[in-house]
Structure 1
Amino acid sequence: MATEPPPSINLTHHFLIAMPGLEDEGFSKSVIYMCEHSERGALGLIINKPSDINVQGLFDKVELPLRRGDLTQTPVFQGGPVQTERGFVLHESMMPGNESVYASTMSIPGGLEMTTSKDVLEALSTGAGPRKVFVSLGYSAWGEGQLESELLDNSWLTVAADLGVIFDTPVEERYDKALMLLGLESWMISPVAGHG
């Protein structure tokens, strides 16, 4: 008997929430905002693992002034294990429609963009730029079918993203807040998947 392929799912603009049993050091207790998910693979940013550098420190490294007092102490996050020396800026869309004001930007349904070009940092350095900003070094990626297979293994819970969790929730509360979107609390979830 041939097994049916799993139905196609698109988790763009969703959170992946690590199950307690997921012990991979980089992904344990993580919440990942999914920027893109297609049959070719998936890309996302971990939103609850701060690095040891803040936005002011990042701007010092790239030799730009930072004229946004609201961002100086904001942590730069470890977005994932891929390209950890490269910056990724998740921010609210600057323009209605699909026209981005930055050179290298991916539009994400749900009103966000992810920019990898330095011009977004230059805009922030002048005191302008997007109002809500999340900065990470590195990203998380899955090849074709890889994420679907991890979902079948009960490694992740999924829920539609809530931008308040990314931009308005203290880092240490983001995992629990994401679970609450599903009506869950961490004590309710067994660390062992139910494969009886």
Structure 2
Amino acid sequence: MTHSFLDLTKGLAGCFLMSSPFTTSPAFAQTVVFICAYSPKEGTMGIVINRHIAKPTPKELLNQLGIKTMPTSNNFSITAGGPIENAHGLVLHTNDWKGKESIYVTKQIKLSTSLDILRDLSEGHGPSKALLALGHANWSPGQLEEELNNNLWYIAPCQESILYNKNFKNKWSDCYKSILTNPRKISLYSGEA
């Protein structure tokens, strides 16, 4: 399975990147990244979606931010989104919530950075599904293309059932299954005939 540059110039934002099964670095092994922005000239920004943070809990985090929670508040999960600005929160969510600082990544998925979304989630009238990421990942122009050509990452279309799933341990294998590939059957080497 290889990737050509032509594959990347069309719609990488809104896709999943899955680390290669051969990645052994603890920072990237079995990692799934949701791509929020992609430009060959400006680089790539994404959020790791399968590194669950158990503490603080959503309720504890809201309390730390001075946001009161209600018993009926919409629950969301927290993930370590990446090494860049890891004290800064980014919320991926369904498009049924509108805020001033929300941007569309796809027609169904938005990205918000405002505390307003957390307030609305705490009051039970935020988006129907949400994932809060602390931090994000960046690639400089050309860096991701090189990593893809070296088979360090594989691309899969985003599925909301994976993106918002609270079973974080299965997200990586579920992404591979979504492209009908068993990660254990991928060859370390690829070539052209």
Q: Percent identity?
A: 23
Shift of 1:76: 1.1
Question: How does the TM-score come out when normalised to structure 2?
Answer: 0.86
Give 5+ residue unaligned stretches, structure 1. 96-100
Question: Letter of the aligned partner of 2:54 in structure 1?
Answer: D
Shift of 1:58: 1.3
Select which of 82, 86, 92 maps to 1:84. Answer: 86
Q: 1:134 to 1:75 in 2, by over 3 A?
A: closer
Partner of residue 174, structure 1: 171
Alpha-carbon distance between aligned partners in 2 of 1:70 and 1:109, rounded to the nearest angstrom: 22
Q: Does 2:144 correspond to 1:152?
A: no
**What are the Cα deviations for residues 75-105 of structure 1, in whole angstroms up to 9, with x where unaligned?**
410011111001111001126xxxxx32322
Shift of 1:131: 0.9
Cα contact 1:13–1:110 (8 A) shared by 2? no
Q: Does 2:142 correspond to 1:142?
A: no
How many pairs align? 184
Alpha-carbon distance between aligned partners in 1 of 2:39 and 2:139, rounded to the nearest angstrom: 10
Q: Does 2:68 correspond to 1:65?
A: yes
Provide the secondary structure at the position in 1 that maps to 2:119: helix
Alpha-carbon distance between aligned partners in 2 of 1:92 and 1:52, rounded to the nearest angstrom: 22
Shift of 1:28: 1.3
Alpha-carbon distance between aligned partners in 1 of 2:5 and 2:180, rounded to the nearest angstrom: 26
**What are the Cα deviations for residues 130-182 of structure 1, in whole angstroms up to 9, with x where unaligned?**
01011110011111111111101110010111111112362111111100011
**What are the Cα deviations for residues 5-63 of structure 1, in whole angstroms up to 9, with x where unaligned?**
94352311111010022233322101111111112111111111112322112112212
Q: 1:188 to 1:49 in 2, by over 3 A?
A: same
Question: How does the TM-score come out when normalised to structure 1?
Answer: 0.85
Provide the secondary structure at the position in 1 that maps to 2:141: coil
Cα contact 1:92–1:111 (8 A) shared by 2? yes
Q: Does 2:133 correspond to 1:131?
A: no
RMSD over aligned Cα atoms: 2.1
Q: 1:37 to 1:143 in 2, by over 3 A?
A: same
**What are the Cα deviations for residues 54-73 of structure 1, in whole angstroms up to 9, with x where unaligned?**
211211221212234551xx
Alpha-carbon distance between aligned partners in 1 of 2:51 and 2:126, rounded to the nearest angstrom: 24
Residues 5-14 or 52-61, more deviating: 5-14
Give 5+ residue unaligned stretches, structure 2. none
